[in-house]
Amino acid sequence: MVKSTDSSISDESIASPLLSEPTSTITSSDSDESPATSNRFFSISRFCSYKSLAVLSSHIGSVSCLALCGEFILSGSQGKDIIVWQQPDLRLFTKFGHGDGSVKALVTVGNKVFTAHQDSRIRVWKLSRRSENVFRLVNTLPTTKDYLGKFMKQSNYVQTRRRHKQLWIEHADSISCLAVSNGFIYSGSWDKTLKVWRISDFKCLESIKAHDDAINGLVSYKGVVYSASADGKIKAWGKEGKGSHCLKGVMEGHKDVSLNSVIVSNDGNLVYGGGSDGFVMGWEANAEFNGWKLIFEVKAHQMAVLCMCLMGEFLCSGSADKSIGVWKREIDRGLCRVGIITGHEGPVKCLQASSNNVGGGFLLYSGSLDKSLRVWWVPNHSGEIDECFSIQSTQKKSV
């Protein structure tokens, strides 16, 4: 089984940090480093290379997930710790979560933080201003109440491994990703299931046998949840009225290639997937949002694409090759490569971008296996456009 711990989370309820314009100046220079290229698409060329505004190195393990919440940046790690950084000076505000299993994903809802762990549990933390601004553990999912309501009935047990059964509300393997939508938390796991939790009472409402291999990424958009899997597919799930979730569509990636990350455009018309072969692929939705067509594929990195994020007309991709690609989304639905960010000493596992326009650009946050969180400024005129890739995936146009 090919597994990835990427977390690419998008939801309207997660606020952006309160940022001030940075006082430091970012310099750029040409670099001879560039992602591996495919003869199908483009030849090797030079990129802009940007220096980071800050390097935050207080984690004891690899940085695996990021979330932006108001004036705070939250980062989780394989070292079981979660750090809260405060803007704009990026000082360490507090730490929590020690000893609760490697943190794979996190999302914020109001004053609560939901964290997913390698021990197959979701933990709920609440900011307590009265306790010296600490995050206090308030629940673990599945809850004790949920267990007590189901453990006596044999029909609530499912086969997870040979000669082993457990309640359907439990994940049987590491939880790799989380998403938030319309009062629900969605969790994707290496056990191939997608579970739906109600935020108001933390009850597990559904368990969906979603994929044939590990689920690596989740994202939600206007009630539709997209899951990316090591089985090479992205699936779209939606509710019919007040009923259960059902499959709305399937997007096929490359054969025998894991899809590690998924994001959706602001209008919901385009779904992007990042693959273990270094490709970024794009699918366009039909008018009814119940079917998607592959419209382009770009060899973006030398190694696997592990994470992606969107900021306006820009798409950023993080890779196991330690680089971050910067792409501009074009009117014709294609992508134009405008730059590459280097500096991490390990694979880039997670990305988040601030929606605040800062000095003609935006702030990009990246977490890596090198145990650091880095902050970058990406100008809106980031580098010179190198190549564009149109709707016809094998057709290239020069700019």
User: Do the domain assignments include residue 286?
Assistant: yes
Instruction: Output the pTM of the full model.
Output: 0.84
Residue 1 lies in a domain: no
What is the model's pLDDT at position 386?
A: 55
Give the total number of structural domains in the chain.
1
Assess if residue 7 is contained within a domain: no
| Residue 22 domain-assigned (yes or no) | no
Closest CA to 352 of 375, 335, 370: 375
The two most distant CA atoms of the chain are separated, in Å, by 66
CA distances from residue 152 to 144, 149, 159, 172, 237 in whole angstroms, order as listed: 13, 8, 16, 19, 30
> Is residue 84 included in any domain, yes or no?
yes
Specify if 18 maps to a domain: no
Q: Is 38 exposed, middle or buried, given 0-12, 13-18 or 19+ CB atoms closer than 10 A?
A: middle
Angle among Cα 365, 9, 334 to the nearest 5 degrees reads: 80
Domain-located, residue 272: yes
Neighbours of 339 (CB within 10 A): 25
pLDDT confidence of residue 133: 62
Query: In this structure, is residue 45 part of a structural domain?
Result: yes
- The reported pLDDT for the residue numbered 329 is 85
Domain that holds residue 316: 28-397
CATH of the domain at 276: 2.130.10.10
3-state secondary structure 264-276: ECCCCCEEEEEEC
Contact between 305 and 319 under an 8 Å Cβ cutoff? The reply is yes
pLDDT of residue 6: 41
Parallel/antiparallel/unpaired status of strands 103-109 and 292-299: unpaired
Cβ(373)–Cβ(66) under 8 Å? yes
Chain center to CA of 4: 11
Nearest to 46 by CA among 393, 389, 394, 387: 387
The Cα–Cα gap between 14 and 198 comes to 17
Burial (CB count <10 Å: 0-12, 13-18, 19+), residue 338: buried
pLDDT per residue of the chain (399 residues) written in tens, 0 to 9: 445 544 333 333 333 332 223 333 333 333 333 333 332 332 223 445 577 899 999 998 999 999 998 888 999 999 899 999 998 889 999 999 877 789 999 999 988 999 999 999 999 999 877 666 688 899 999 999 999 999 999 999 998 876 688 999 999 999 999 999 999 999 999 999 999 999 999 999 999 999 999 999 999 998 899 999 999 999 999 987 778 999 999 999 999 999 999 999 988 899 999 999 999 999 999 888 788 999 999 999 999 999 999 999 999 999 999 999 999 988 667 788 899 999 999 999 999 998 776 778 899 999 999 999 999 999 886 555 555 655 444 344 333
Contact in structure between 316 and 326 (CB atoms under 8 Å): yes
